[in-house]
Amino acid sequence: MKEASRNLLLVTLLVACAESRAATFTVTNTADTGVGSFRQAIEDANSNLGPDEVQFAIQGVGSHVIMTTSPLPEISDPVLIDGYSQAGATKNSLADGFDADLMIILQSTLTIASGGSGSTVRGLNIQADTGNAIALVASQDNKIEGNLLAGSVNGVSSEASSSNVVGGPTVAERNHINSNQTGIFFFGVSTQNTVQGNLIESNSEAGVDIECSKENRVMNNEITRNGGPGVAIRNPGAVDNQIADNYIGTKIFGEIQPNLGDGVVVFVRVEAGTALGINRIVGNTIAYNGGNGVHVAAQDSDIDTIFTKPVEFLQNSIFDNEKLGIDLGGYCTALGNCFETTRPTVGVTSNDQNDSDFGPNNLQNFPELASATNTLQRTTVTGALRSTPSAPFEIELFVSTECDSTGFGEGESFFGGVTVTSDATGLASFTFVAKPRLPVGHFITATARGREGTSEFSRCIPVTGMDCDGDGIPDGTDNCAGTPNPTQCDSDTDLIGNHCDPDFNNDGVVGIPDFNIFRACFGRLAGQPGFDPRCDLSCDGAVGLPDFNIFRSFFGRAPGSACP
């Protein structure tokens, strides 16, 4: 009997503990303190061990403003704060924009401390004025979703916090982060955080600022109309961050909304004891910004002695930025304090022998494009990279409707790439075939990515017209459009190239009179008596079997060769 009583008591205690760890606290008024206030709900949730929930049931139609005269208590125990529980609140439904109707307006900072790890804040309109809207302090595994964070120092501030998610993959999880000093600020070695699917706009400085923090992901956001750069990665320790698939300076449906500074700026000095790593900028659309599309700078004015962390750019769409598409050079001393310098150059950085110069991304040489020529179904791009000897490189190719005013870049649409290895002299030639063919009159540019990061854009070259015989001469100017003849030799200057013109007497048909002329010069070499350059149909300096085979193929026909 005593044993049974003990068991019953244990079960009762366990149930009581379980209930205490899963309580719901309801906010019923907008008062700063007291029963039913938001402050009281936070205090109660902090006092109740385990995950809790704060819901809202304030009487009255429309939005409700919660003002505080002193800072709210830090969240020190896991909690779900659900602003959507208030009557009338709705989640965002737009693929491009933010139409959530948020009924709870909080005019105070909401801080999640280390003990509050694992919390979720959603459905709030937070306007903290001189503070941060949401501050994460040594906290992890929190979720910030579906909020409007505006009119604050930082929309989200993350200090020494990790594995938090701001936003998410669905439109309902999007935060609208606008009209703050900085949209989202990571500092104090914040790591492995994700910023996804948010609308980050109209902040007076950066949209996203990653300082001394690593392994963070900024992905699938719209980052527009900010007063500084769209994204900044800066200061020692800021490595292995990835900026991927964002719209920076433009929106998902192409609306022009530039950031006033660079689209992305990176300045990370190498210091003893800081982590190795590469920051990556992948698959973004970076357009219309007031500075460069992407700017990699030194973090000190002494750019000849300060090493910088490498940055890789992969398959981005970069176009119509006020300055360069990609700029390697200059230096930055702080966010918003970047300076050009004549070392190595202002603007486009010239290639150098064996890529031995020094600077951001080691001033990686860019490719030198030779041709971009159309055939019936493809575009063939040729070029070469002159860089570090005996080293591997990835060449990325882009097509744009216009060439930048500098003649270099930008890169509107990535269409392919090729892996090359330079020889002992540093030379790596390449050919890439694009299918289907690219539009005539568009422009091709390229970048080179090596061990020290990615280059600036190459000089742009135009896609030339149809070249159905593949000899590199557009059909419109090819004097034998259907027969390969890259030399375009035309010995009788009748505008029909030798390769398709055995009509030596120009009577409009290749016949016996032409054969007699050909027979008289057969076997002759250039410079010998009796050599007739008209008979050298292959243009190799000798009249022989190759020329006879060409003659025979035209016998009885008119000269000339058109595309099939």
Note whether 293 and 420 are same-domain residues: no
Flag whether 213 is in a domain: no
pLDDT of 401 strictly over 80: yes
Q: Domain check: are 437 and 497 in the same one?
A: no
Confidence of residue 275 (pLDDT cuts 50, 70, 90): low
Confidence of residue 9 (pLDDT cuts 50, 70, 90): very low
> Over 80: is that where the pLDDT of 127 sits?
yes
Is residue 103 in a domain? yes
Q: Number of folded domains in the chain?
A: 4
Identify the CATH number of the domain in which residue 498 sits.
1.10.1330.10
- For residue range 227-260, what is the model confidence (pLDDT) as tens digits? 999 999 998 889 999 999 999 999 999 999 999 9
Residue type, 244: A
- Per-residue confidence at 20, pLDDT binned at 50, 70, 90? low
Last residue of a domain, one of 204, 239, 269: 204
Burial class (CB in 10 A: 0-12, 13-18, 19+), 542: middle
Q: Are 349 and 277 in contact (CB under 8 A)?
A: no
For 165, phi and psi rounded to 5 degrees?
-120, 125
- Smallest CA-to-CA distance from 320 within 368, 249, 220 is with 249
The residues with which 308 forms a beta bridge, in sequence order, are: 269
Categorize the per-residue pLDDT at 346 as very low, low, confident or very high, splitting at 50, 70 and 90: low
Quick one: pLDDT at residue 532? Answer: 95
Specify whether 434 is located in the same domain as 493: no
Predicted confidence at residue 109, as pLDDT, reads: 98
Domain hosting 521: range is 475-564
Pair 433, 522 in one domain: no
Q: How many CB atoms lie within 10 A of CB 488?
A: 16
Domain termination site, one of 466, 483, 513: 466
Please return the burial class of 175, using the count of CB atoms within 10 Å of its CB with bins 0-12, 13-18 and 19+: buried
Instruction: Answer whether residue 8 shows pLDDT above 70.
Output: no
The two structure tokens encoding residue 564: 């099939």
How is 98-144 classified by DSSP, letter by letter? Answer: ---B--EEEES-EEE-GGGTT-EEES-EE--TTS-SEEEES-BS-EE
Are 279 and 311 in contact by the 8 Å Cβ rule? The answer is: yes
507: pLDDT strictly greater than 70: yes
Cα dist. 414→283, 397, 403, 417 in Å? Answer: 9, 6, 15, 8
Q: Is residue 73 part of a domain?
A: yes
Q: What's the mean pLDDT in 71-93?
A: 98
* Residue 358 falls inside a structural domain: no
Note the residue count of the chain. Answer: 564
The reply to whether 143 falls in a domain is yes
User: Is residue 301 very low, low, confident or very high in pLDDT (cuts 50, 70, 90)?
Assistant: low
215 domain residue, yes or no: no
- Rounded mean pLDDT of 454-471? 91
Tell me the average pLDDT of the chain.
Answer: 92
Query: Which percentage of the chain shows pLDDT scores above 70?
Result: 92
Same domain, 384 and 442: yes
Domain boundary among 176, 204, 232: 204
Q: Which residues pair with 222 in a beta bridge?
A: 199, 247
| pLDDT of 439 | 92
**Which residues are bridge partners to 398 per DSSP?**
414, 445
What average pLDDT does this structure show over 361-377? 91
Instruction: Identify whether the C-beta of residue 498 lies closer than 8 Å to the C-beta of residue 534.
Output: yes
Is the pLDDT at 226 greater than 90, yes or no?
A: yes
The closest of 143, 461, 441, 412 to 288, measured between CA atoms, is 412
d(CA 10, CA 553): 102
Out of 18-27, 74-83, 174-183, 530-539, pick the least confident.
18-27
The answer to whether 42 and 26 have CB atoms below 8 angstroms apart is: no
Tell me the percentage of the chain whose pLDDT exceeds 90.
81
- Specify whether 110 is located in the same domain as 156: yes
Does the pLDDT value for residue 6 go beyond 70?
Answer: no
Q: Which residue has the higher pLDDT, 20 or 478?
A: 478
For the cut 60, the answer to whether the pLDDT of residue 341 exceeds it is no
**What's the Cα-to-Cα distance from 350 to each of 23, 306, 354, 444, 451, rounded to whole Å?**
65, 20, 12, 18, 19
Residue 11 confidence (pLDDT) above 90: no
Give SS3 for 6. helix
Residue 10 has pLDDT above 50, yes or no: no
Please report, to the nearest 10 degrees, the dihedral formed by the alpha carbons of residues 266, 272, 276, 278 taken in order.
10
Q: 12 pLDDT exceeds 70?
A: no
- Are residues 189 and 224 both part of a single domain? no
Question: 318 and 397: one domain?
Answer: no
Instruction: Quote the pTM value.
Output: 0.84
Coil, strand, or helix at residue 71?
coil
In terms of domains, do 59 and 196 share one? yes
Question: Could you tell me if 81 and 193 lie in one domain?
Answer: yes
Q: Interior CA angle at 310 toward 305 and 316, to 5°?
A: 140
Classify burial at 564, counting beta carbons within 10 Å of its beta carbon; exposed 0-12, middle 13-18, buried 19 or more: exposed
